[in-house]
Amino acid sequence: MEYIFCENCKTKYPIIDILDNANGSSPGESILFFECKKCKKQIILYLEKNRVSVINYLAESNWEILKAYVFQTFDIRVDPEYLHCWYNNKHYEVKKRN
């Protein structure tokens, strides 16, 4: 099992819990949103093949990476309405946030 940590309160989340409970995505930027259950701060993740990064979102298509996690079995595909993710060959789709 692989985890992501909230940068604010350090609560740890299995990546599959984040994929299952995301608060939407920005497919064009490969970004996923997730609210930390403990501190309620928004965790923003930038997704790439084999890598998931917690970011500080500054402006459209402009962010700094706070922490990068290498997940060998992670992959993504973007379509206009969904960010599609695969982790350990299981498919997750996160709808675009309006």
* Long-range contacts, stretch 70-73, CB < 8 angstroms, 24+ apart: 71/2, 71/15
Cβ(34)–Cβ(22) below 8 Å = yes
Residues 6+ apart with CB under 8 A from 77: 84
Contact call for residue 8 and Zn ion (CB under 5 A): yes
Contact call for residue 6 and Zn ion (CB under 5 A): yes
Minimum distance of Zn ion from residue 13's CB (angstroms)? 9
Residue span binding Zn ion (CB under 5 A) among the ranges 25-33, 37-45, 61-69, 85-93? 37-45
Contact call for residue 39 and Zn ion (CB under 5 A): yes
**Which residues bind to Zn ion, rule: CB under 5 A?**
6, 8-9, 11, 36, 38-39
